[in-house]
Amino acid sequence: MQVRAAEDWNQQNDRLLAEKGGFTLIVHLHTVGGYARFVVLDHRKRRVPCDLLVGSGTREDARAAKQAAEDMAIRVAMIHPRGRRFGT
C-alpha cells in the first residue's frame, strides 16, 4: 500500500485529511497540550454503515502525526489484508 505522498493530504477546516488504501487518516491541527492528535479509520469491505477506528495517538507536531498515521495504516494493512476485520 502506497501512503507516503505528502501531496495526498488536504486541509479542511482545522484538520488534515488523506484517503489512502481504504483508510482515512485525520490529523487535528489544533494541538492539545502542544501535541498534534491523529486518527486512523478503516473503511475497507464495509459490513456496517460506519468506519472502524483502528488507532489514534498524539505526536509532537502535525508532520510527525501525519507520519505516525501513515505508519499505522501500513501496519494494519499488513496484519489484516483486504479489509478482514478482527475476529473474522
18-39 per-position pLDDT tens digit: 998 889 999 998 766 788 999 9
CA 73 vs CA 27, 32, 35: distances in Å: 13, 23, 20
Longest alpha-carbon distance in the chain: 39
How far apart are the C-alpha atoms of 3 and 56, rounded to whole Å? 17
Candidate ranges 3-12, 61-70, 78-87; pick with highest mean pLDDT: 61-70
> pLDDT value at position 6?
46
| Residues pairing with 36 in the sheet | 59
pLDDT class for 3, splitting at 50, 70, 90? Answer: very low
Its pTM surpasses 0.75: yes
What confidence score (pLDDT) does residue 87 get? 44
